[in-house]
Amino acid sequence: MKNIKQLEVPSAGLEPRNLQALARLVAQYRYFDGVVLHALPWDLPFYGMALTLMLKNFRLPVVLYGQEDQAAEAMAWAEQGFSGVFALGSDGFDLACRTTCTGGGRVISPNYPPVGRSDGWSREVLSDLLPPTEADPFLLCDALNDRVTQLFPGTELVSRDDLLSSSGVLIPLREFERETRWLLEEQRSILSELHRRRIPVVVTDLPDEVDDVKLRRDLLRTGVVSAGDMTREAALVKLMWTLARTNSVNGVRMYFSLSFGGELTQGELIL
């Protein structure tokens, strides 16, 4: 019987300090044979991508699950001894950075985390679980930028001033199929201003018609970076992580062309 550490994880939202706390919590169990985390279903993809990027030289299986009846299965997978961060999501067992939100969870921006637990867990509980010592730099690469804004097509959730004061912007398109031309038509002036100020803009789920030469040229002019086939959740956390290391558009483009844990399975779309 392997020595697997099981943890109930409160909803940490997407605030960088909470995701850092989660990574440090997992890292302190490096002498176990594996770690199993029970969290809210819609937290799994964000936690999965954060742990994938932040844990380094961590050769243990880390398995996340969201449903009570998955506990035994999660333990069984952890005992297999795989190295990496995995999740039991709605589609079964997979890399945690490839899972998506379930249960209707949708995070508007890093400052608006999902609804927390209703069973007494709180953010204070998470910090209570942390070791008193400083994080081990050999195991953790946990710096995150908290000035990332999500911009949903066709909405008025983010003001122009907020966008222009961001370190970076993420635009998810999949949930707004009727707005596939929004990026190129309705908000061209904002994108042009972001490009002029050299604020990186990452776009997920680019429409198929991007193969059109003219549209590719239009996208090049706005300076957007493609997230390839990454999920929105993975791209958001990866942008927060990337902007803690570079603030240049070309630097972001380089990081988003690399797969650090399987979050990207297609080559970057070179615009």
Structure confidence by residue, pLDDT tens digits, 147-179? 998 877 655 556 777 788 899 988 887 654 444
pLDDT of 65 over the 50 cut: yes
Reported confidence tier of residue 255, pLDDT bands at 50, 70, 90: very high
Question: How do the domains of the chain map onto residue ranges?
Answer: 4-128, 148-256
Q: Which amino acid is at 127?
A: S
Q: Which one, of 222, 244, 69, lies nearest residue 148 by Cα?
A: 244
6 vs 160 pLDDT, higher one: 6
Residues sharing a CB contact under 8 Å with residue 84, sequence separation 6 or more, in sequence order: 52, 61, 62, 95, 261, 262
Q: Cα–Cα distances in Å, from 17 out to 76, 83, 177?
A: 31, 25, 34
What count of Cα atoms within 13 Å lies in the side-chain half-sphere of residue 170? 31
How far apart are the C-alpha atoms of 104 and 49, rounded to whole Å? 19
Q: Which CATH architecture has domain 148-256?
A: 3-Layer(aba) Sandwich (3.40)
- Same fold: 4-128 with 148-256: yes
How far apart are the C-alpha atoms of 58 and 63, rounded to whole Å? 13
pTM of the predicted model, to two decimals? 0.81
Neighbouring CB atoms inside 10 A of 250's CB total 12
Residue 238 has a pLDDT of: 95
The DSSP-derived string for 201-250 is: EEEES--GGGGSHHHHHHHHHHT-EE-TT--HHHHHHHHHHHTTT--SHH
Residue 111 has a pLDDT of: 34
Reported confidence tier of residue 79, pLDDT bands at 50, 70, 90: very high
List, for residues 81-137, the tens digit of each pLDDT value. Answer: 888 899 987 667 888 888 876 444 333 333 333 333 333 334 444 555 555 456 666
Strand order in the sheet with 92-95: 4-8, 34-38, 61-65, 84-89, 92-95
How far apart are the C-alpha atoms of 80 and 10, rounded to whole Å? 26
Residue 219 has a pLDDT of: 65
Q: 4-128 adopts what CATH topology?
A: Rossmann fold (3.40.50)
pLDDT of 217 over the 60 cut: yes
* Distance linking the first and last C-alpha atoms of the chain: 51
Reported confidence tier of residue 24, pLDDT bands at 50, 70, 90: confident
